[in-house]
Structure 1
Amino acid sequence: METPREITFLQATAVLISTIIGVGVLSLPVIAVKAADSGAPLLTFLGAMIALLSLSILAALGKRFPRKSIIHYSEDILGSWIARIGSVAIVLFFALLSALTAREFGEVVVTSVLRNTPLEVTVIVMLVLTAVSCRNDMNTFSYIHLFYLPFILAPGLLIVALSLQNADMINLLPIARVANGEWLYGSLTIAALFQGSFIVTMIIPSMPRPAKTLQACLLAIIVSGGLYLLIVIATVTIFGAEETKLLIWPTLELARMTSLPANVLERLDILFLAVWVTAVFTTLFSTYYFTIHSLSNLLRLRDHKMFSFFLLPFIFVLAMLPQNVLDTYRFILTIGLYGLIITIAYPAVLLIIAILRKKREDQLDREHAQESP
């Protein structure tokens, strides 16, 4: 049965933006600074360009197979059994990504706000909220993202704009230090923060005009990558590269130092945390939804709702595997880097093989029509 085409260009763009802007916004500046010192803004830009390359590959695949998700058209390209191995890897990766997102959320909350609350409570509450929300259809899924997007972007841009009043632009010099191995590692690490955008493969079959996917991806990278870039610039110009390296969550410290004019609010960290919780929810909502949706596609089921609570205990167990906050970030960085094999290398291989074998959805439809009696 063909998927109803009900997600507009604006909704698709909103889903991508609110998925990309998530839990990693807290640690982004320190990741960039450790790799490139004062060249962190340039490194962030390079990471966004790598993410755009990944999305361009996915958009090209979606253009060739506009009515199918990557779980389905990978079987047309590679064959059923080989493709299913890749599909299982995708499901496992996004299940692990969901778990680590929930764990990082829990670590920040119990450290900064609810210090007497057990870590397990904060993690399970966010996972239950996400699981309940994932029982909606694709149209409701996109509307939820569209609704929350202004509440993520507007306060985030406001905090960055106000913080730049205390900026010292000399901290951005030199713009680019002598390139070394850390630049490649750092740019790939930052690109990994954009991996949630892989859910575009789930959105394309529901878009009435799949050909506009690339424009939606480009706009999403401009907005989310632009916000990330502004956050890194603000952090480096205020704290300097060396001091930023000593902070676990530099963006949170940036919000603590920022106030509204006339001292309406002397510290904006509470406002920022409210925005950040919303951003974490939309990111976790997307990765969790993609996990259960892909699993239902892999098993050829018509509905994904049965998996929303079925996977919850497994995701929770995965979330609690790291021993502490430092261990959590080691897991996140390692899984994020290896995940690029799934989110960039695997789609690139699919696209190359599809081009070489001249595989397209319309061509496959003609082949099936000729095989039919």
Structure 2
Amino acid sequence: MNKESTITQGQLFFLIIKFEIGVDILSLPYQMHLSSKGGGWISVIIGGILIQLIILMCWLLLRRFPSSSIYQILTRITGSWMGKILTVAYIMYYLLMGTSVLVSAYDVINRWMLQKTPRWAILALILFSSIYLVRENLRTIARVLVLISFLIVPMMFLISYGIKQANLLYLLPLTEAGWPHIIIGSKETLLAMFGFEFILVVFPMVEGKSKGKLKSLLLADGVVVLLYGFTILTCTSVFSPQQLDLMPEPVIYLLRSIPLGTMDRVDFIFLPIWLISIFGSISGYYYAASYGLGYLFKQKNHKQAVPFVVFVSCIIACIPQKREDFDLVGTIANNSAYFFLIALPLLLLILSYIFNKKEEPGT
């Protein structure tokens, strides 16, 4: 594998942080309030532990095939025909996840900033940029996305301004919702932190030993748990429970309430930064889908598949017409993640042990 087709463990660390912090950072405090009340940050910790266990499970599968992506692993374990069917399914999953992020990003930008801008203009801005980036080799993509990941710093800096208005009494009692609801609320964190599935495709392209890759993954996930927990604590301590009941996107309301020098609308600073960050997540999903298509049709690389992936994603993104339709796309994508990130990798791991399927040295 040539140098341009690999990334370092440090780059993997930043990529996972970038992919796990997505659209849901705007609405997660609201979702946590509905399910866990003041104990939302506890739900985040529980969800983070669950994500760590899922990552560990995926790593156990990937380390048995250190030079194979999920697409090659499917063929090795299930055979040629079933492997192709599951490969198509994974391609559709990555495409759907990328489209879900695209649709959610459009919905937020359309409602909060560009109400009169046509949908096609907003989508074209993101999609043409995606084609330009995703057609590059993995190392170039990683370098760009690592730079984008640093935009999380100003995002969290702006959110932290809300601490000045915090009232910690809003958090009490911490277990008001009850432990069953707090534990169930961790499901929302689970959905918000999906994004590590990028590793299923690029694992063999990460330099170093398997244990080093695992450390990067777990450390990145731990950082995201802290950032999400901080965001939820800030929002739930600034707004009363009655206010949060009416705020589907508390982070934006928080930013609108913050005076920052001569800026009357701090959210106009935050949202463009957030949109650039979201562009990175979309590009990651498009790369994973394009890589799968390239493998399926035995192409030398993924470049020829990129326009097709972006075109199909654009068509799907243009179908929803109402807010309920946007939510439906996200619901379908999130529910499919349970199968492709938990159920299927676990099944593959079990089968690999039952039938003693693993990659021999030199194969």
What TM-score do you get using the length of structure 1 for normalisation?
0.90
State the distance in 1 between where 2:250 and 2:269 align: 16
Distance 1:75 1:116, change over 3 A: same
Please name the residue that 1:194 is paired with.
193
Please name the residue that 2:331 is paired with.
333
| Structure 1 runs, 4 residues or longer, greater than 3 Å off | 2-5, 182-186, 264-267
**Offset at residue 364 of structure 1 (A):** 8.3
State the distance in 2 between where 1:264 and 1:155 align: 18
Is the 1:171–1:236 contact (alpha carbons within 8 Å) kept by the matching residues of 2? yes
Higher mean displacement: 355-364 or 301-310: 355-364
Please name the residue that 1:16 is paired with.
16
**Offset at residue 264 of structure 1 (A):** 5.5
Please name the residue that 1:369 is paired with.
none
SS of the residue 1:361 aligns to: coil
Alignment of 1:19-168 (within 5 A): 19-150=19-150, 152-168=151-167
Percent identity (aligned): 23
**Offset at residue 123 of structure 1 (A):** 1.7
The root-mean-square deviation of aligned C-alpha atoms, in Å, is: 2.0
**Offset at residue 267 of structure 1 (A):** 4.2
1:322 aligned to 320, 323, 346, which one? Answer: 320
State the distance in 2 between where 1:225 and 1:264 align: 33
Instruction: After superposition, give the CA deviation of every residue in 1:92-121 in whole Å (9 maximum; x if it has no partner).
Output: 111111112111111111211112101232
Aligned AA (1:102): L
Please name the residue that 1:206 is paired with.
205
**Offset at residue 304 of structure 1 (A):** 0.7
Please name the residue that 1:368 is paired with.
none
Instruction: After superposition, give the CA deviation of every residue in 1:203-255 in whole Å (9 maximum; x if it has no partner).
Output: 21112214111111111111222111111111111113332231122111111
Distance 1:120 1:86, change over 3 A: same
**Offset at residue 48 of structure 1 (A):** 2.0
Please name the residue that 1:345 is paired with.
343
Aligned AA (1:310): F
Aligned AA (2:294): S
SS of the residue 2:195 aligns to: helix
State the distance in 1 between where 2:262 and 2:219 align: 34
Please name the residue that 2:168 is paired with.
169
Aligned AA (1:192): L
SS of the residue 1:346 aligns to: helix
Aligned AA (1:275): I
Instruction: After superposition, give the CA deviation of every residue in 1:312-342 in whole Å (9 maximum; x if it has no partner).
Output: 2211121122222233123313430232111
**Offset at residue 174 of structure 1 (A):** 2.4
Distance 1:241 1:203, change over 3 A: farther
**Offset at residue 266 of structure 1 (A):** 4.9
Alignment of 1:202-281 (within 5 A): 202-211=201-210, 212-260=212-260, 263=261, 265-281=263-279
Paired positions, count: 360
SS of the residue 2:274 aligns to: helix
Distance 1:114 1:267, change over 3 A: closer
Is the 2:93–2:336 contact (alpha carbons within 8 Å) kept by the matching residues of 1? no
Is the 1:107–1:119 contact (alpha carbons within 8 Å) kept by the matching residues of 2? no
2:285 is equivalent to residue 292 of structure 1: no
Aligned AA (2:316): L
State the distance in 1 between where 2:232 and 2:193 align: 15
Instruction: After superposition, give the CA deviation of every residue in 1:322-366 in whole Å (9 maximum; x if it has no partner).
Output: 22223312331343023211111111111122223332212683x
Is the 2:100–2:333 contact (alpha carbons within 8 Å) kept by the matching residues of 1? no
Instruction: After superposition, give the CA deviation of every residue in 1:62-89 in whole Å (9 maximum; x if it has no partner).
Output: 2211111011012212222223322222
Gaps of 5+ in 2: none
Please name the residue that 2:353 is paired with.
355
Is the 2:103–2:317 contact (alpha carbons within 8 Å) kept by the matching residues of 1? yes
State the distance in 2 between where 1:193 and 1:300 align: 34
**Offset at residue 187 of structure 1 (A):** 2.2
State the distance in 2 between where 1:272 and 1:225 align: 21
State the distance in 2 between where 1:158 and 1:74 align: 42
Aligned AA (2:54): S
**Offset at residue 136 of structure 1 (A):** 0.4
State the distance in 1 between where 2:51 and 2:273 align: 24
**Offset at residue 134 of structure 1 (A):** 0.6
Higher mean displacement: 297-306 or 170-179: 170-179
Please name the residue that 1:371 is paired with.
none
Distance 1:83 1:265, change over 3 A: same
**Offset at residue 133 of structure 1 (A):** 1.0
State the distance in 2 between where 1:108 and 1:18 align: 19
Is the 2:47–2:190 contact (alpha carbons within 8 Å) kept by the matching residues of 1? yes
Distance 1:22 1:247, change over 3 A: same
Distance 1:65 1:248, change over 3 A: same
State the distance in 1 between where 2:242 and 2:220 align: 31
Is the 1:36–1:183 contact (alpha carbons within 8 Å) kept by the matching residues of 2? yes
Distance 1:346 1:253, change over 3 A: same
Gaps of 5+ in 1: 366-373
